[in-house]
Structure 1
């Protein structure tokens, strides 16, 4: 009887060990360093950097953009990457003006297809320089 019981227990343990070896599962959630949902990305901070009526110095970036959303006006430069920057010191003025498009250009025809007789408005950034001082007097003309 005891021999039969010990055989039964040993066979039970062998089966139990095999079941334990096969039923171990891993973690159901990933660790904290996982990036399954992409993680947080840094924003690009594009758009107008200097508001209407603010004073700027030459070289100040006025707007950062990927596609042309804001257009350069008076005393404003257009960088290779699309940034607008001040060429002279003065106050910033943002206006919405009618665009004078070259309708013979293929890019204009492709992007403004069907809007030939409509007035198209664009946002322009201008830098209005301060008037120069009037301290000099004309003494003699050459």
Structure 2
């Protein structure tokens, strides 16, 4: 038996046909029983086929578009993200329907790590969030430090 296992390790499972013939000789197995043993086959066809054509798609271009300290204008995209929020909107930052963060005022971008207090809208925030340590509820917020208003003022009320 040791000699047969040594042969299996030497010739690998990919040579399954050779290994089956050794088992037939060693254990005097009938041909039907030896053919039931696994034989490794290719999972993809060689050359081109319908199944081999995937995986050539362009990336989604997600992530940070503006870095810490950069100057931005109103409406510029700061972060593109999908799924869960990796960056949350802070002061003077708006969020789009696809979780894109954009500038609502002209100024400099800066990032902070702050404790996140989730809104009690689902079971996670009602049951699980209060039991988590404070380190787990820290998130990255994106803020805009607006440029000072010089020569332009907003009319708040008419006198």
**What SS does structure 1 have at the residue aligned with 2:61?**
coil
Aligned to 1:75: 92
What's the CA shift string for 1:97-125, capped at 9, x where partnerless? 111234x432424663741x534211000
Q: Measured at CA, do residues 135 and 48 of structure 1 come closer, stay the same or move farther in structure 2, by a change above 3 Å?
A: closer
Whichever structure has more helix as a proportion of its residues is 2
Aligned to 1:36: 52
Cα distance in 1 for partners of 2:52, 2:127 equals: 40
Matches within 5 A, 1:123-142: 123-133=140-150
Cα distance in 2 for partners of 1:110, 1:42 equals: 40
Aligned to 2:76: 60
TM-score, structure 1 normalization: 0.63
Give the length in aligned residue pairs.
Answer: 107
Cα distance in 2 for partners of 1:61, 1:77 equals: 10
Q: Which has the higher contact order (CA 8 A, sep 6+)?
A: 1
Aligned to 2:63: 47
Measured on the aligned residues, the alpha-carbon RMSD in Å equals 2.8
Aligned to 1:90: 107
Q: Mean Cα displacement is larger for which, 87-96 or 106-115?
A: 106-115
Q: Measured at CA, do residues 48 and 135 of structure 1 come closer, stay the same or move farther in structure 2, by a change above 3 Å?
A: closer
- The structure with more radius of gyration: 1
TM-score, structure 2 normalization: 0.57
Moved over 6 A (4+): none
Cα distance in 2 for partners of 1:134, 1:53 equals: 24
- How far apart are residue 37 of structure 1 and its match? 5.7
Structure 1, unmatched stretches of 5+, are 1-27, 137-141
Structure 2, unmatched stretches of 5+, are 1-44, 154-158
